[in-house]
Amino acid sequence: MTRMDWPMATSSSRWDSARRCPPRSRRHNMAMPQTPMFADTGATLCSEGDFLLLLRAQRPGCGYGAVFFRGFETDTRQFQDALDILEPEHFEMIDVVTPRSHVRETLYTSTQAHPEIRIAQHQEMAYHVRPPWYLGFYCEVPSEGDGFTPVNDLRRLGRSARRLYPSVLDRFIELGVSYVRNFNKYSFKSWQTCWETTSRAEVEAKLRNDNTEFEWVDGDWLRTFQRRPAVLRDPVSKAEILYPSFGIFHHTFLEHIAEKMGLPPPPSEAEQALACYFGDGSPIPEDFRAWVHGEVLATSVSIPWQSGDFLLMSNLITGHGRTPYSNLKRALHASFRGRLDLRALALAATTTAGS
Q: Which 3-state string (H, E, C) describes 44-76?
A: CCEEHHHHHHHHHCCCCCCCCCEEEECCCCCCH
Share of the chain above pLDDT 90, in %: 39
171 domain-assigned: yes
Answer yes or no: do 225 and 239 share one domain: yes
Answer yes or no: do 235 and 195 share one domain: yes
317 domain-assigned: yes
Answer yes or no: do 91 and 39 share one domain: yes
Confidence of residue 52 (pLDDT cuts 50, 70, 90): low
Supply the range of the domain harboring residue 136: 12-154+304-341
Burial class (CB in 10 A: 0-12, 13-18, 19+), 176: buried
For residue 32, pLDDT beyond 60? no
* CATH number (domain holding residue 96): 3.60.130.10
Confidence of residue 74 (pLDDT cuts 50, 70, 90): confident
Using alpha carbons, list the distances in angstroms from residue 124 to 50, 121, 162, 176, 298: 28, 10, 23, 18, 20
Quote the number of domains for the chain.
2
7 domain-assigned: no
More confident residue, 355 or 230: 230
The DSSP secondary-structure symbol of 183 reads E
For residue 20, pLDDT beyond 70? no
1 domain-assigned: no
Give the Cα separation of 61 and 53 in Å (integer).
Answer: 13
Answer yes or no: do 191 and 212 share one domain: yes
The bridge status of strand 240-242 relative to strand 107-109 is unpaired
Answer yes or no: do 20 and 131 share one domain: yes
pLDDT recorded at residue 187: 87
Answer with the one of 292, 316, 331 that is the final residue of a domain.
292
Answer yes or no: do 269 and 335 share one domain: no
For residue 15, pLDDT beyond 70? no
DSSP 307-319: TT-EEEEETTTEE
More confident residue, 5 or 69: 69
351 domain-assigned: no
Confidence of residue 231 (pLDDT cuts 50, 70, 90): very high
- Residues 58-77 as b or e (16 or more Cβ within 10 Å = b): beeebbbbbbbbbbbebebe
Answer yes or no: do 84 and 53 share one domain: yes
Answer yes or no: do 211 and 97 share one domain: no
For residue 30, pLDDT beyond 80? no
347 domain-assigned: no
The bridge status of strand 119-122 relative to strand 107-109 is unpaired
**180-224, pLDDT tens digit by residue?**
999 998 888 899 988 889 999 999 999 999 999 999 998 899 999
Answer yes or no: do 108 and 203 share one domain: no
299 domain-assigned: no
The pLDDT mean for the chain works out to 79
140 domain-assigned: yes
Answer yes or no: do 140 and 175 share one domain: no
Long-range contacts of range 77-82, CB-CB < 8 Å, 24 or more positions apart?
A: 79/107, 79/136, 79/138, 79/310, 79/333, 79/335, 80/104, 80/105, 80/106, 80/107, 80/335, 82/51, 82/55, 82/136, 82/310, 82/312
**112-169, pLDDT tens digit by residue?**
778 888 888 999 999 999 999 989 999 988 887 788 899 999 999 999 999 999 999 9
**135-145, pLDDT tens digit by residue?**
999 998 888 77
The pTM of this model reads 0.81
Give the Cα separation of 63 and 54 in Å (integer).
Answer: 12
pLDDT recorded at residue 77: 86
SS3 content of the chain, % helix, strand, coil (to 5): 30, 20, 50
Answer yes or no: do 212 and 169 share one domain: yes
pLDDT recorded at residue 24: 32
Answer yes or no: do 20 and 150 share one domain: yes
- The residue length of the chain stands at 355
**Nearest Cα residue to 172 out of 86, 102, 318, 277:** 277
